[in-house]
Amino acid sequence: MTLKNFILALLLCGGALDAAAQSPELLYQQANGLYQAGKIAEARDLYESIASNGYESGDLLYNLGNAHYRLGDLGRAILNFERARRIMPADDDLRHNLQLANLRVVDRIEPTPRLFLWDWWDGIKGAFSAQSALWFSFALFVLLASALMTMMLIRAYVVRKSALIAGVVTALLLAFSLVLTFQKIADDGRRDEAVVVASITTIKNSPDGHSTDAFVLHAGVKVRVIDSVNDWIQIRLADGKVGWMERGAAETI
């Protein structure tokens, strides 16, 4: 190795160490700068690097989804939008961009009919993240404790009656909130939801490349993983269809 090449190698190693030493927040700002400068592919790569190192942020995943969308990778755009939605479900920009991305999905999967109460429950869950549901439960617990303290310390009949009514209502809301919180935590821990990231993939009737074709899916379709065998996963669509696809054709949310 010549002296020139040796010095160049040292500089490159020093640059790599310097980049590794930078905080995720600083790297995130650099990625945002690249995105705003129109260097979308470079921004995507840096966002991916930050996420792969364990830094979890709804904004990071949202921006990563936007970068993939701008680069025409619809499957990974929806994948990262869905991941971001678990962290910040009430974000209007995220909801809008996810809807736009879903409009570009080739396959139109009509979910099987179900009782309207389940749609109502999903709507409520969609308005909360696990963290916000937990804080809501904590606030209700404080209110309930305050109502109980008021009943024990205040002698006035009207005040005690009002505290009793408030306590009963708060207790019911707290019970509902706790159910919501545990459900959100369970949903966030699920690893059976995935998004098709391959531009097009053939679904088979069995986990074998030589088996008969069942149907075809395109990038962006959300599926539920119900089984796996070696390099194959069995999926179920919202309309009830079931089949086997290669594991690499989809990524878990």
Q: Which helix (H) or strand (E) holds 61?
A: helix 58-70
> In terms of CATH architecture, what is 193-252?
Roll (2.30)
Q: Which amino acid is at 18?
A: D
Q: Which two tokens stand for residue 200?
A: 């097009």
Tens-digit pLDDT profile for the chain (253 aa)? 554 444 434 444 444 445 445 788 899 999 999 999 999 999 999 999 999 998 889 999 999 999 999 999 999 999 999 999 999 988 999 999 999 999 999 999 988 887 888 888 888 888 888 889 999 999 999 999 999 999 888 889 899 899 999 999 999 999 999 999 999 888 877 789 999 999 999 999 999 989 999 999 999 999 999 999 999 999 999 999 999 999 999 999 9
Q: For tokens 């980049």, what's the residue?
A: 19
pLDDT, residue 63, reads 97
State the DSSP string of 9-28: HHHHHHHHHHHHHS-HHHHH
**E-state strands within 57-199:** 193-196
Query: What CATH number belongs to 3-103?
Result: 1.25.40.10
Q: How many helices (H) and strands (E) does the chain have?
A: 9, 7
- Residues near 174 by Cβ (< 8 Å), separated by ≥ 6? 137, 140, 141, 144
Q: Which amino acid is at 109?
A: I
Closest CA to 126 of 58, 178, 193, 184: 184
